[in-house]
Structure 1
């Protein structure tokens, strides 16, 4: 219940509004005009009753820096896959607007910093891509949502009204027959004995870079002919057939594997961590004279070969681990011959 107490100092009156409600800590505020005290008491009492007031009070006590530091300390350790990336991105936000109180964190301010990000020149001397800017935004939004749901530091996420930057459609770069033969030959001749196997596995399974580099023997089942990737991007296990040349090579590698590590491609210096293929991979690309090609494009190549062989889009999505068909629609044009046969067959049946 609210009460207004009048006091005078040096002949000037002041009015202190006090609110005491059962189950809540008392709050008070002093004003020079009684009407302001009455208005504040009425609005605050309603806010307390509706459960809004103390959340607002928390947002006034904490800065964005407080939020980011707590999130990195208490939450990120449970998100090992994104720890490094999120920590780096959140620290950028902290440098830019870390001193801003959460109660003053506005949509306009965050939008201003988003635009600053989009003009940033990266280490590669290129302007930051819309996709990367969106990842910075996603990291901050995730931290803010945690403070709302779990800590009750904020009532609403100011990023809810901010639109993502439009990203260009993902590229589809796959190896031509000649490029594939040249690259595989260069990998086979590489000073790294395992590069060829790693590339063959990537091409035959469509697995992501870290799924191949971090593959463990416990995920390989030669009896059933399947690899079950457990450390995936969407954190859901995915089983992919292990057949033909890839299976034969992996079985040969298994027979001479290191017994002190479960990792298929362990580091030479420390068998507890995976080998980093970046240097031998780059050298193989130079030797093979294959340009504008990344390791991730081996995944695109696998999907493209599947599409060109008439494999349904839904099956390709399942092999790649995509939950929706939207991510594999980029390969539809490679399936044109298969679609032509389907339409021709339908026309023959309905127009004899």
Structure 2
């Protein structure tokens, strides 16, 4: 038996030589328990023997498929979110053979996720809310599960993938603020958060792009900023033209850059880069401004909504926002009706406004 550990990892790894020679097979057993690792190793060894001597196809587990799936997507921007879902799924599928993952098991997993309570991260730790997770969260988790199974099927590791009935869901309403509401919120925020929020409203940048913006990405002379491909969700560079307001915000941040050797970060607080925006100060400001059901990401929705209402063409908005497809931009199309106005003509005769009756006695 060849089991070993690698530096910096608690998991056990295996190394096996196929019967009849050939290159050794090695990888993670997916567990830090030695007994479970030994069982995984012995089963894999038996599968290799059956494949070589009897022509049996090896049996792959959920862990095998996950390792392959994650390795193939190391450069995908959303991989960390995917890993979070996979860690949750591991509670239900660790060590399970791919062929045993049928529709009934998947529906049971979906029900378990649906019954979970929503959580929020605070300074004191993770706090459980008195509400279950959203249907969207359930769909995303099951979507990751199905994606792993589909890739395993493409590799020939499983004969077929269960067909799941896709639930019909209504499109979510875009949450955005009016100009008056936005100014009310900005007035309640601490100065450093107000500047970041105003910059987001002027540029439409995602939270990570605002907190991660560096002075090396800003040219105040040309009035432009840029997001590198490895920072963008669509993995494509984004050119960000800066309005007068956005430039003014950046000049205020430049005044805080006292030392030349200071970090490259644009937005700082007490000399340190700001990475967290959804803080107690953010939530209290929303409450004082009497704005409910509003997330930081909704600043981006607000920016896009204002653009559409102002008449910005959707194709231009797509480039400004760095979206990969027009489908994402179409969510805001209903906010503009200018292109429909020419078709709205009276279909019935407008009611005539009656003149107020004069009092006969007054004549």
In the alignment, the residues of structure 1 paired with residue 327 and residue 73 of structure 2 have an alpha-carbon distance, to the nearest angstrom, of: 30
In the alignment, the residues of structure 2 paired with residue 263 and residue 309 of structure 1 have an alpha-carbon distance, to the nearest angstrom, of: 32
Partner of 2:187: 185
- Structure 1 residue matching 2:226: 3-state secondary structure: strand
Given the superposition, is the C-alpha separation of residues 183 and 122 from structure 1 closer, same or farther in structure 2, using an over 3 Å criterion?
Answer: closer
Partner of 1:216: 214
Question: Is contact 2:117–2:130 with CA below 8 Å preserved after alignment?
Answer: yes
Given the superposition, is the C-alpha separation of residues 157 and 184 from structure 1 closer, same or farther in structure 2, using an over 3 Å criterion?
Answer: farther
1:257-314 CA-partner distances (Å, limit 9, x unpaired): 264312222575865xx42122232222123222222111111111111111111222
User: Offset of 1:250 from its aligned partner?
Assistant: 0.5
Partner of 2:289: 288
Given the superposition, is the C-alpha separation of residues 168 and 229 from structure 1 closer, same or farther in structure 2, using an over 3 Å criterion?
Answer: farther
In the alignment, the residues of structure 2 paired with residue 331 and residue 128 of structure 1 have an alpha-carbon distance, to the nearest angstrom, of: 26
In the alignment, the residues of structure 1 paired with residue 199 and residue 271 of structure 2 have an alpha-carbon distance, to the nearest angstrom, of: 23
Given the superposition, is the C-alpha separation of residues 153 and 263 from structure 1 closer, same or farther in structure 2, using an over 3 Å criterion?
Answer: farther
User: Offset of 1:164 from its aligned partner?
Assistant: 4.0
1:186-224 CA-partner distances (Å, limit 9, x unpaired): 22xx2xx32121111111111112221222222222233
Aligned partner (choices 158, 163, 167) of residue 161 of structure 2: 158
User: Offset of 1:154 from its aligned partner?
Assistant: 1.1
Query: Which runs of structure 1 show a deviation greater than 4 angstroms over 4 or more consecutive aligned residues?
Result: 69-72, 74-81, 145-149, 266-271, 340-345
In the alignment, the residues of structure 1 paired with residue 253 and residue 153 of structure 2 have an alpha-carbon distance, to the nearest angstrom, of: 50
Question: Is contact 1:267–1:275 with CA below 8 Å preserved after alignment?
Answer: no
User: Offset of 1:76 from its aligned partner?
Assistant: 6.7
Aligned partner (choices 198, 201, 209) of residue 200 of structure 1: 198
In the alignment, the residues of structure 2 paired with residue 108 and residue 286 of structure 1 have an alpha-carbon distance, to the nearest angstrom, of: 44
Partner of 1:170: 172
Task: Report the number of matched residues.
Answer: 283
CA RMSD of aligned residues (A): 3.4
Question: Is contact 1:68–1:91 with CA below 8 Å preserved after alignment?
Answer: no
Question: Is contact 1:267–1:276 with CA below 8 Å preserved after alignment?
Answer: no
Question: Is contact 2:114–2:132 with CA below 8 Å preserved after alignment?
Answer: yes
Partner of 1:236: 236
Partner of 1:141: 146
User: Offset of 1:249 from its aligned partner?
Assistant: 1.7
1:139-181 CA-partner distances (Å, limit 9, x unpaired): 22344455556xx47145625x224443431222221232122
1:27-58 CA-partner distances (Å, limit 9, x unpaired): xxxxxxxxxxxxxxxxxxxxx9xxxx97x723
In the alignment, the residues of structure 2 paired with residue 323 and residue 340 of structure 1 have an alpha-carbon distance, to the nearest angstrom, of: 26
Question: Is contact 1:68–1:94 with CA below 8 Å preserved after alignment?
Answer: no
User: Offset of 1:104 from its aligned partner?
Assistant: 2.4
Question: Is contact 1:131–1:167 with CA below 8 Å preserved after alignment?
Answer: no
In the alignment, the residues of structure 2 paired with residue 125 and residue 153 of structure 1 have an alpha-carbon distance, to the nearest angstrom, of: 43
Alignment of 1:300-319 (within 5 A): 300-319=301-320
User: Do structure 1's residue 65 and structure 2's residue 63 form an aligned pair?
Assistant: yes
Q: TM-score, normalised by structure 2?
A: 0.67
In the alignment, the residues of structure 2 paired with residue 302 and residue 342 of structure 1 have an alpha-carbon distance, to the nearest angstrom, of: 27
Higher percent of residues as helix: 1
Alignment of 1:28-177 (within 5 A): 57-58=57-58, 60=59, 62-68=60-66, 74=71, 78-79=75-76, 81-83=78-80, 85-123=81-119, 124-145=129-150, 147=152, 152=155, 154-155=157-158, 158=161, 161-177=163-179
- Structure 1 residue matching 2:117: 3-state secondary structure: coil
Q: TM-score, normalised by structure 1?
A: 0.69
Partner of 2:339: 339
